[in-house]
Structure 1
Amino acid sequence: MSDVAHFDRLAAVYDWLAPSASPDDVRAGFAYAERNVQTVLDLAGGTGRTAAAVPEYDVTVLDAAPGMLREARAKGLRVVQGDATRLPILDESFDAVVVTDALHHLDAPAAIRAASRVLRPGGVLVACDFDPRGVLGRALVTGEHLAGFESSFYAPGELAAVFEEAGLRSHGVRSGFGYALAGVKLGGARTTGSDEPVRE
């Protein structure tokens, strides 16, 4: 995807420009897992902002942009270069996958299917992104397109449907302009209660 070149150029200053990662949302999403979470894949993880914010987990940062991975490696993080939609990772390798402020830069259905494949049964995918509806959402979409990004945003209910199609039971973690969803891969050892899938 052409956005990779943009991020490669921005790598050295990205941490100054991007909003801070929300470790509370990530941890709250991990709480839905139906297995113990130890190993985590930070999908399209860039400079490793999210990975660095949750040091209690064994996190691997995957990104397609070499410049972003150089920044992550400089933080002492484990990195893998690869396409988020065609992960160079064995099936059922991770307890959790997190994608923070990046899903709109990807082919989201393909990336979510790939994440589901590498999750162990009962593992969880946590996605933190932005709702394109409303004044803020429309402004963000316009701004990203003007900046040359090929961004494609999903409303929470739309993304929840994509989760379900990939075999992930969806749960709302946080709502609003900046929202978070968790998707649990079926086949875990315990249940998480009676939460209903996210709706519009």
Structure 2
Amino acid sequence: MHGVGDVRFFDRIAPLYDLVMPPAEAETLNAALARADHPVERVVDIGGGSGRATLALDAPEKVVLDVSAGMLRRAQNRGLDCIRGDARSLPFADESVDAVTVVDAFHHMPNQRTVAEEVYRILEPGGVFAISEFDPETPLGRGLVAAERVVRFGSSFASPRELTRFLERVGFEPSIVDTGFEYTVAAKKRESH
């Protein structure tokens, strides 16, 4: 898969990833999913890697989608349903999922506009797109941005305010769920009329 961001790095570090990353913030993620207009039955965790965030989600059907085969092996070993795929061309039918999450990964995704448009396409009306990201305007965030530049990641970070404006332009109704170094935005797909 060409041009899929920093996938080679994640293939290499897959065995160590869960040892160095903190667990996902279950309460915040589930609060974001609760902003959907209907119960979340089916959720897709894009860039879900080893499944550490997917496990925290409160939904009966959870799917991890990632481009990194190494990370997906970790998720499969946890008993999660996995699909190897590119977020810019999601292998799901229109309006077929209740929620989509991206945890600590949106900044690694090339063509974020295309990714957001694909998420909008597969979400049911009233469904929610929950993104947890790192705020580059915080002291820790500035350090993370600098570190990712040093290792030559192609990262593209946004503050909560910038991310909500971006999601509005795609057609979502976003709201900020949590702020700080790691923040969460929940973006609802408008109900069709």
TM-score, scaled to structure 2 = 0.93
1:69-122 deviation per Cα after TM superposition (whole angstroms, max 9, x unaligned): 111000000000100111122111100001000000013222111111110010
Which of 8, 27, 37 aligns to 1:5? It is 8
Match in the other structure for 2:44? 41
Match of residue 167, structure 2, among 133, 154, 163: 163
Aligned to 1:194: none
Secondary structure of 1:99's aligned partner: strand
- The answer (yes or no) to whether the contact 2:43–2:59 under 8 Å persists in 1 is no
Name structure 1 gaps, 5 residues minimum: 190-200
Deviation at 1:55, TM superposition (A): 5.3
Residues in 2 aligned to 1:96 and 1:10: alpha-carbon distance in whole angstroms:
28
The separation in 2 between residues aligned to 1:75 and 1:4, in whole angstroms, is 20
Query: Who is 1:91 aligned against?
Result: 94
Q: Which amino acid aligns with 1:68?
A: M
Q: Which residue of 1 aligns with 2:28?
A: 25
SS at match of 2:53: helix
2:60 to 52, 57, 60: 57
TM-score (norm 1): 0.90
Comparing 43-52 with 180-189, greater Cα deviation is found at 180-189
Give the match's secondary structure for 1:9: helix
Quote the Cα distance in structure 2 between the aligned partners of 1:55 and 1:179.
19
- Label 1:23 to 1:188 Cα distance change in 2 as closer, same or farther (>3 A): farther
The aligned amino acid for 1:135 is P
**Percent same amino acid at aligned positions?**
41
Runs of 4+ displaced beyond 6 Å = none
Q: Secondary structure at the match of 1:49?
A: coil
Q: Distance in 2 between matches of 1:19 and 1:161?
A: 28
1:102 maps to which residue? 105
Identify the match of residue 178 of structure 1 among 174, 182, 188.
Answer: 182
Task: Kindly provide the amino acid, as one letter, of the partner of residue 154 in structure 1.
Answer: A
Instruction: Please tell me whether the aligned partners of residues 131 and 137 of structure 1 are also in contact (alpha carbons under 8 angstroms).
Output: yes
Alignment check: 8 A CA contact 1:63 1:80 kept: yes
Q: 1:2 to 1:125 in 2, by over 3 A?
A: closer
In structure 2, the CA distance between the partners of 1:23 and 1:110, relative to structure 1 (3 Å rule), is: same
Q: In structure 2, what is the Cα distance between the partners aligned to 1:103 and 1:188?
A: 26
State the partner residue of 1:198: none
Could you tell me which runs of 5 or more consecutive residues in structure 2 were left unpaired when the two chains were aligned. Answer: none
Q: Which residue of 1 aligns with 2:130?
A: 126
The separation in 2 between residues aligned to 1:56 and 1:30, in whole angstroms, is 9
Two-structure CA RMSD over aligned residues (Å): 1.5
1:122-148 Cα shifts (integer Å, max 9, x gaps):
000000001101322111101112123
Aligned to 2:146, what secondary structure does the other structure show? helix
* 2:160 counterpart letter in structure 1: P
**More deviation in 142-151 or 51-60?**
51-60
